[in-house]
Structure 1
C-alpha cells in the first residue's frame, strides 16, 4: 500500500511555464484524500519551487519539500510557510577546490549560496544570466581570497573536455554529481556535497513518517532521480526519461506533457 508519493518537478510534474496541469493536481488531491502523503523532491531552490508546492497543496497540508537535490529540506508549518529543517553545504575548502578547478578548465559555474540572494560565478555569460533570471539571485564574481560564504549546490557548464577534467580532479572527494539535462548541445553537471542527494533527504522524511521504502512511489525523469527511483518500492520513470532510467525503474508512465503523474496515480493508486 502506497503511503507517500514523492515528485520531481522539471520534466515530471510540470509541463511548461512552471504550471501543474489540472489532471495532475486532481490526482494528487484524490491521493491525499486516501491518506497518502505528498512530497516534492527537486533540484530547484525553494524560491522556484514554492509556486508548484502551493499548486499541489504541499503548503496547506504541512508537507515536505526537498530542494537543491537534498541540499535543503523544508516542512511547511500551520501558516503555510516553508521552514528549513535540514541543510547540507560545501565546506569553504571544497567550494574553493571546485571553483579553482572549474576556472582552470575555462568552465562557467553558478552556485546556490547559503545567502538566498546570491550566486557565485566565474564569469557572467548567457548561462549564468539565465540561471540568474530563474533563481532571482544576484551574480557575484568568485574571488578565492575574499569569499567567506559557501553553497548548497553548484552547476557547472562548458565543453565536454573541461567537464571531464573537472570530474577527474574532484574524483577523490566523492562529491555527488548529476548530469544536468536542460541545456542542449553542451556538457554540464550539478554538484552536491558527498552523500547529499534526493534519496538521502527522502529517507529522512520516510523515517519521520515511519514509512517503509516499499510504501513509497517516486516519479522522476533525470539523473538526479536515479537513486530514489531504485530505492523506493514504486519507482516510476516518466515517458520522457532517458532509456537507462526507464530500465531501472519498476514502471514508466506517460510523458510530463501528457500528464504522466496524474495518469499513473489514477491508474495505480486511485483504484
Structure 2
C-alpha cells in the first residue's frame, strides 16, 4: 500500500517528555515529505497552541500544511491559521457540562477557538500544561462570559482514570449527543457527537483527494482511537495505554521517547536501508546491520 497522509497525535506520541520533536522523528518526517507524504498533527489542543511544533516541523504559517485540532473540532491550514472546518459545542451544552463538573473533584478546561479557560487548576495540572499552551484562570460560577464565543470543547481533569470512568457513567444521561474520549491519562473530553480525530482525518483526506486506505494514524490514548480505526493503517506507539493496544493494527517497538513516529515512517514509507529502529536513542537513524 502506498500511503499519502500520516495523522499523528502530539503529546505522548510525537513529542518527547521535554515537549519537543526529537531529531530522529524530524528527519524521518522530512524524508517522508520529500516522497510526497503529508504529515499532519492531530491533537486535542487548540491550533494556536501547537505553533512551536509546527515550527520544528517546518510547517508553521505555510500554505498546503494542515492540522487537526480540538480532537477534530477544527481543521486548519497553517498559513494564517485558516480554519477550513469548525464544529464546536452548543453553548447550553457547554454550560451544562460546566455546572456538572463543579460537582466533581476535577479541574475544568473550556476551549474556545482562541483561548483555554481553566477553573480550579492544581499544581499537577499547571506543571503538565506549562509549555504546552497558554491558559486563563477564571473563577466564575457560570460560562455566561463566553456566550458569544465559539466553544470547541470542555474537559475535566483528574489523574485517577477509574474516577474519570465513574464520571463518564454518571453523565450518560446528558452525553448521548456528545463524543466522549480520554487522553493523557488525566482528561475526559467532551466534543459534539461525531466530532473526533477519526472524522477529522477522513474529512481532511477527502479534502486532499486521498483515499482512507492511503492514510496512517499514530496515537497513544483513547482520543486517538477513532482515527486509528478510520485510517488505512492504525498505529499505537509502545507507550499506548494497554486497553487500546488490541484495537491497533500495529504497535511500535519504540516509545514516544525513542522516536516511535520515525519507526513507523521508516517501516512503511522510506526505502533507505540506513533507517532502522534503535531502542536506545531518539537522536537519528541507525544501520540495519545492528
TM over 0.5: yes
The normalised TM-score by structure 2 is 0.82
By how many angstroms is 1:20 displaced?
Answer: 0.7
Instruction: Determine if the alignment matches structure 1 residue 232 to structure 2 residue 231.
Output: yes
Q: Distance in 1 between matches of 2:103 and 2:56?
A: 43
**Alpha carbons 2:75, 2:204 under 8 Å: kept:** no
2:181 is matched with 178
1:144 is matched with 142
Q: Distance in 2 between matches of 1:132 and 1:261?
A: 22
Q: Distance in 1 between matches of 2:139 and 2:121?
A: 8
Going from structure 1 to structure 2, the CA distance change for 1:28 and 1:73 (only over 3 Å counts) comes to: same
Instruction: Determine if the alignment matches structure 1 residue 68 to structure 2 residue 47.
Output: no
Q: Distance in 2 between matches of 1:168 and 1:155?
A: 15
Q: Distance in 2 between matches of 1:151 and 1:63?
A: 24
Q: Distance in 1 between matches of 2:257 and 2:143?
A: 46
Going from structure 1 to structure 2, the CA distance change for 1:152 and 1:131 (only over 3 Å counts) comes to: farther
Q: Distance in 1 between matches of 2:53 and 2:42?
A: 11
Going from structure 1 to structure 2, the CA distance change for 1:93 and 1:167 (only over 3 Å counts) comes to: farther
Going from structure 1 to structure 2, the CA distance change for 1:129 and 1:151 (only over 3 Å counts) comes to: farther
By how many angstroms is 1:203 displaced?
Answer: 1.0
**Alpha carbons 1:107, 1:162 under 8 Å: kept:** no
Q: CA RMSD in A?
A: 2.3
**Alpha carbons 2:44, 2:71 under 8 Å: kept:** yes
By how many angstroms is 1:176 displaced?
Answer: 1.4
1:42 is matched with 43
Instruction: Determine if the alignment matches structure 1 residue 54 to structure 2 residue 52.
Output: no
Structure 1 ranges of 4+ moved more than 6 A: none
By how many angstroms is 1:48 displaced?
Answer: 2.5
Instruction: Determine if the alignment matches structure 1 residue 7 to structure 2 residue 30.
Output: no
Aligned residues: 262
1:255 is matched with 255
Q: Distance in 2 between matches of 1:90 and 1:47?
A: 19
By how many angstroms is 1:161 displaced?
Answer: 5.1
Unaligned runs of 5+ in 2: 272-290
